[in-house]
Amino acid sequence: MTKKSMIQFGSMVLAASLVLSACGSGTGGTGTNGNAPTNAKADSASGGDKPAPVTISVAYATGDPATKKAIETTIDSFTAANPHITIKNISETTSDSYLDWLKTKDAVGEFPDLVEMRDTKVFADAGKLAELPAELHGLFTSLPQYDGKHYNAPIAGNAPNGIIYSKKAYADAGVTELPKTYDEFLAVQDKLQASGISPIVVGGKDLFHMGFWVNYFLINNVYKGDPDWNSKRTAGTASFTDAPVVQAVTDYKELFSKYVDKGWLSTADNQTASMLVTGKAAQLYSGPWMFGQITEADPSFEYGFYALPNRDGSVIVNGLPTLAGWSLSAEAAKDPAKVEAIKAFIQFFFDPAQYSPYLATVNGIPTTKAKVTYETNDQMKEVLRLMADASVQKSMMINNWYGDNAIPPQFRNWFYKLLQDLVVSDADIADYMKQSDTEYDNNVKANNQ
C-alpha cells in the first residue's frame, strides 16, 4: 500500500500541495471550530431548562456500505451528545430504488423529517421539501439552488469516477504506462485479456452501478460538447438517435461485450472489491468511496487510480456540484421542535469533529468552509488533483443535471435496464435509441399532466 499522508480540506483545493484551506465556520456542533453544542449537556451546564424530548426520522440511501456505516456512526454520536433527541433511523437497502422507496414512504404518510435527497426537483415540485434554514447556509462554500431556493445541505462533493486497477495485473500483462487515450485503454484491455484475467469487473446486479460506465461514455461523447443536451432532448430538438449518443452507446456495448467479466449481470456492487483483490478481475471503474472497501478486503493489495481519458487524450470527469444533500421535509418544518433538532443534527454532522471521520470513511470531498483534515493515500491524492486541475473539465451524470437540464426522474433506471438488455440480447442500437426517445417523451408528458 502507499504511505498515507495528511490532507487538509476547505473552500479550495490547492493542486500543488493538495491542501484545502478556508476560514472557520461560524456555526457548528461539538468540534474544532470552537462553538458550543446545542444539546442537553450544554443547556444543563449553563443552568438552562432541560430541552423537551423530540423525535425525528432520518432517511438515507444505503447502496454503499461504507457510507451507511459512516452515517450510522454519526447518528449514534449525535444522539449520545443530545439525549433529548431520538432519531428514528430509516434507510432503504439499495440506492437503485431510492426514488421509488421515498415515493412509497410518502404515499403511506411516512415521508422522513430529514432525508438524504437525490431527486430534489421531484419532491420540491410536489411541495414535500422545505428550504434549508438560513442559519445553516454559512456552513458551506456553496449551495445548489433550485428555482432560486436552497433545499440541500450538500453531504459531500461530487467525486470523479476513474479506473481502479491492480498493479500486479498490469505488470503481469506487460502494461508499463497508463493509457493516455481511450484507444490506448482498449489496447490495455487486450493485453489483460491475453494474460488470462478478466479485464473489468462490473456490479451490474445493482442498477446504480451501471451509471458509472454509461455516464463515462455519455459525458465524453455528449456532455463534453453540449452540457445542455438534456434540455434539448426535453424540448424535442435533440434525440437519442443523434450521432454523439449513438457513439456513446456503441462504445459502451463494445466494452461490455469484449472486456467486462461475463458474470457482470449477477455481480453485486459490494462484490467488486473482492473480485479485484483476489485477482479475478484487473480493474474496476468507480469512485473513491471504493478505496476503503478495497483496503478492508486486503490491506496489502496494491492498486492505482486514474481518470480515463477521451479518444483525443483530454480528460473530463463527473465533478460538478449536484442538487443533492440533507433536506428538511415540509411537514417537519411545521414543528419548531423538529426544526431545532434537525438544525442541531446538521450542525453536528458538518462540524469537523464528525465530518472529518465521515469523509475519511467514504473518501469524500468536503463541502464546508471549516477546515477539515483526515489521512488519505496516493489514490485519493489523485482524486484531489483531478478536482483541482483546471484543465480537467467537470461534468455530471445524466440524472444529476437540474433546472432545464433535469431529466424525468423515472427515466434513469429504465434507461440503465435498457442498456443492460442491449448487451445481453446483442440488440440493435438504433432501435433501442428510438425506444429511448419514445420512453423519454412519454415520461415528460406524464410528469406534465
> Which domain CATH number covers 313?
3.40.190.10
Tell me: do 220 and 279 sit in the same domain: yes
- Say whether pLDDT at 67 is over 90: no
Residue listed under C-alpha cell 440533507? 326
- 82 falls within a domain: yes
Q: What is the pLDDT of residue 19?
A: 33
Residues 267 and 412 in one domain: yes
pLDDT at residue 167 is higher than 90: yes
What pLDDT is recorded for position 26? 31
245: phi then psi, degrees, rounded to nearest 5: -70, -45
Selected residue with higher pLDDT from 329 and 30: 329
Are 188 and 306 in contact by the 8 Å Cβ rule? The answer is no
Would you place residue 32 in the very low, low, confident or very high pLDDT band (cuts 50, 70, 90)?
A: very low
Q: What share of the chain has pLDDT > 70, as a percent?
A: 88
Residue 212 has pLDDT above 70, yes or no: yes
Angle at the Cα of 186 (from 181 to 189), degrees rounded to 5?
Answer: 130
Within a domain: 383:
no
Does residue 184 register a pLDDT over 50? yes
Whether residues 210 and 309 share a domain: the answer is yes
Q: What is the mean pLDDT of residues 22-51?
A: 41
d(CA 418, CA 344): 43
pLDDT higher than threshold 80 for residue 72 = yes
Q: Are residues 182 and 273 in the same domain?
A: yes
Report yes or no on 430 lying in a domain: yes
C-alpha cell of 229?
Answer: 443536451
Question: Is 168 part of a structural domain of the chain?
Answer: yes
Total domain count for the chain? 2
Residue 4 has pLDDT above 70, yes or no: no
Predicted local confidence at residue 374, as pLDDT: 85
Kindly state whether residues 413 and 370 are assigned to the same domain: no
Per-residue pLDDT reduced to its tens digit, 221-236:
999 999 999 999 999 9
Q: Which three cell numbers stand for residue 140?
A: 458551506
Residue 167 and residue 151 share a domain = no
Can you give the pLDDT at residue 388? 85
The mean pLDDT value of the chain amounts to 88
Mean pLDDT, residues 267-287: 97
For residue 22, the model assigns a pLDDT of 31
Would you say residue 400 lies in a domain? no
Query: How would residue 99 be classed by pLDDT, with cut points 50, 70 and 90?
Result: confident
The pLDDT of residue 372 is 87
Asked if residues 321 and 142 have their Cβ atoms less than 8 Å apart, the reply is: yes
pLDDT for position 142: 86
- Does 438 reside within a domain? yes
Tell me the pLDDT tens digit for each residue of 280-302: 999 999 999 999 899 999 999 99
- Would you say residue 253 has pLDDT above 90? yes
Q: Quick one: 241 and 336 in the same domain? A: no
- Region 132-152: what's the mean pLDDT? 94
Which of 45-49, 93-97, 150-154, 358-362 has the weakest average pLDDT? Answer: 45-49
| Whether residue 202 has pLDDT greater than 90 | yes
Q: Please check whether residues 199 and 282 belong to one and the same domain.
A: yes
94 and 168 together in one domain: no
Q: Given pLDDT bands bounded at 50, 70 and 90, which one contains residue 48?
A: low
Considering 53-67, 77-91, 429-443, the range whose residues carry the highest mean pLDDT is 429-443
Higher-confidence residue: 396 or 68?
Answer: 396
- Is 89 within the bounds of a domain? yes
Residues 309, 345 within the same domain? no
Which domain range does residue 48 map to? Answer: 5-158+332-376
Question: Phi, psi at residue 299, to the nearest 5°?
Answer: -60, -20
How does residue 78 score in pLDDT terms, banded at 50, 70 and 90?
very high
User: What angle, 0 to 180 degrees and rounded to 10, lies between the N-to-C axes of helices 290-297 and 65-81?
Assistant: 100
Pair 368, 287 in one domain: no
Mean pLDDT of 69-88: 94
Query: At a CB cut-off of 8 Å and minimum separation 6, what does 193 contact?
Result: 199, 258, 259
Per-residue confidence (pLDDT) for residue 371, from 0 to 100: 86
Q: Residue 321: what pLDDT?
A: 86
Give the pLDDT band of residue 84 (cuts 50, 70, 90): very high
Query: Which stretches of 315-367 are DSSP H helices?
Result: 336-350, 352-362
Domain check: are 25 and 140 in the same one? Answer: yes
Q: Does residue 385 fall inside a structural domain?
A: no
Percentage of residues in the chain having pLDDT higher than 90? 75
100 or 213: which leads in pLDDT: 213
Report the pLDDT value the prediction gives residue 375, as an integer from 0 to 100: 85
User: Taking the chain, what is the end-to-end CA distance rounded to the nearest angstrom?
Assistant: 55
